[in-house]
Structure 1
Amino acid sequence: MAGGRRTFTPANQQRLTNVSVVRMKKGGARFELACYKNKVVEWRTGVEQDLDEVLQMHSVYVNVSKGQTAATEDLEKAFGTSDLDKIILEILRKGELQVGEKERSAQTETMAKEIATIVSQKCINPQTKRPYPVTMIEKSMADLHFSINTNKSVKQQALEVIKQLQEKQLIPIARAQMKLKLVFPGKEAKKLKEKALPFIASIEDEDFLGDITEIICLVDPGQYTALVDLVSAETKGRGQVEVQTVTNIADGDENL
């Protein structure tokens, strides 16, 4: 249009809106990624694995809000490589997710509830053999002054809460035992049972069906993988370890 004025965006500038920024300082410089809201945490916890669903642009910026992309020589100097995929993955893993105060508060509150829920599901009061209500776990987390880290998964933080509660003994708490059914075939069942006993907290029932031995037992979660490996190796894959329930409950309660 005659007499009209054109505006130009420099080649290293890309304007983005409605974006979450992941920022990392390295080699004395600042680098940023432009991501879709909520997708960074999902990627870090393994819920989202497609980078195209996480990144708004497959670029590294020095300033996302101004749309300024990083120069190749600056990336090479800071990261020791010009491989953009490797650089992006490092920033995604180690960078700090930038969120507004209101958004951060809502995210922290949601994560705290999720952490307390996991602890409630995974643990019991060893005196009553019953799980704690989520609200009681939330109160205990507050008493611990547990700080929610939005860059870590809720599962990791739930395990840390359990560890701190056990160490500081604010409430009596223990990991809920798993109820398993072990199936041992053949004449070696008795010998295999003896090898399995160190991994078993208690045996609730034992049946002999022909040449098959079935054992219902309680196992601490930390022993589960080792027990599965033992049964698989000793029976060459013919034995079975079946999970009946994941939570040890008192008589009269429904199975969880």
Structure 2
Amino acid sequence: MVRVEDAIVARLESHGYKFEILVDPDAIERIRKGNIDIENDLAMPEVYKDARKGEKASEESLKEAFKTTDIAQIVVDIVKKGQIQLTTEQRREMYDERRKQIVNIIAREGINPQTNTPHTPYRISQAMEEAKVKIDPFKSAEEQVQGVLKAIMPIIPIRFEKAKLAVKLVGDAYGKLYGELAKSGYITKEEWGKDGSWMGILEVPAGIQGDIIESLSRRGGDKVQIRVIK
């Protein structure tokens, strides 16, 4: 359960009533998607008309405004439709974290089509500054990536692209590296050779194909063979 001092107030005014909950700021995005853990996401499992004074909302007002007294459904409605009261520090932390997530996605997925090499996170961050990109701390990074791309493309050439790697693992390299392969991208095809080796096609974000090849080669040595499929 989030501590009261770490919780934020989510407020919704409806049907002439004011409803407030004390909620974990880190749970906001998840709750908006309808995934809620009442025990851990709320400082107190209550709906208030004034959280600061500890005045609870009446059952009658909840039924009138939400057509239910189910606290889980009510919390989701308040978070989706209401206002989130963040402190300045909380808002800055959420903003910085969301911005970092967006930069990392673009650095992983994107390449410079002029050089076929990835942009550094620093260059992407600079382009976002130049384009005066606005980040919504309450929306997921994935939801905002396309809008950010559209804003920075006039500043830096960038294109999202996938790379395909043909990988062959010999001997004990399969046991050592298959888990890393599966986490690095999407295995689109795999088969076993007559010599007992494993062969597969791995689809990965183009921006990190070099890092993946380096990591697999370092760990597998001469028991791993990798080539980029054009």
Give TM-score, length-normalised by structure 1.
0.60
CA separation of 1:51 and 1:128: change in aligned 2, threshold 3 A: farther
Tell me if 1:33 matches 2:21. Answer: yes
The CA distance in 1 between the partners of 2:38 and 2:71, in whole Å, is 13
Structure 1 residues 254 and 112: alpha-carbon distance in aligned structure 2, compared to 1, 3 A threshold = closer
C-alpha deviation, 1:180, in angstroms: 6.0
Q: Where does residue 9 of structure 2 map in the other structure? A: 21
- Structure label with greater radius of gyration: 1
1:247 to 1:99, Cα distance in 2 relative to 1, 3 A: same
1:1-256 equivalent positions in 2, closer than 5 A: 16-41=4-29, 43-44=31-32, 50-166=37-153, 169-179=154-164, 242-247=201-206, 253-255=210-212
State whether residues 163 and 205 of structure 2, in contact with CA within 8 Å, keep that contact through their aligned partners in structure 1: yes
1: distance between equivalents of 2:99 and 2:50? 31
Shift of 1:43: 4.5
Greater Cα offset, 143-152 or 23-32: 23-32
2-structure distance, mates of 1:100, 1:155: 25
Runs of 5+ in structure 1 lacking a partner? 1-15, 182-223, 232-240
**Cα RMSD (Å):** 3.2
Number of corresponding residues? 183
- Cα 1:254–1:106, aligned 2, differ >3 Å: closer, same or farther? closer
Alpha-carbon spacing, 1:38–1:133, altered in 2? closer, same or farther (3 Å): same
What's the TM-score once normalised by structure 2's chain length?
Answer: 0.66
Native 8 Å contact 2:103 2:125 kept in 1: yes
Structure-1 separation of matches of 2:130 and 2:207: 26
The answer to whether the 8 A contact 2:109-2:207 is kept is no
Q: Once the two structures are superposed, what CA deviation does each residue of 1:137-182 show, in whole Å capped at 9, x if it has no partner? A: 111112222212111112212232123334xx2211100223166x
Matched-pair contact (CA < 8 Å) for 2:133–2:148:
yes
SS at match of 1:62: strand
After superposing on structure 2, the runs of 4+ consecutive aligned residues of structure 1 that deviate more than 6 Å are none
Q: Alpha-carbon deviations, 1:93-112, whole Å to 9, x = none?
A: 33332111122123212221
Question: How far, CA to CA, are the matches of 2:141 and 2:205 in structure 1?
Answer: 19
Shift of 1:70: 0.9
- Give 5+ residue unaligned stretches, structure 2: 167-185, 190-199, 214-230
CA distance in 2, matches of 1:180, 1:29: 59
The aligned amino acid for 1:175 is F
Specify the SS of the correspondent of 2:206.
Answer: coil
- In structure 2, distance between residues paired with 1:119 and 1:57: 38
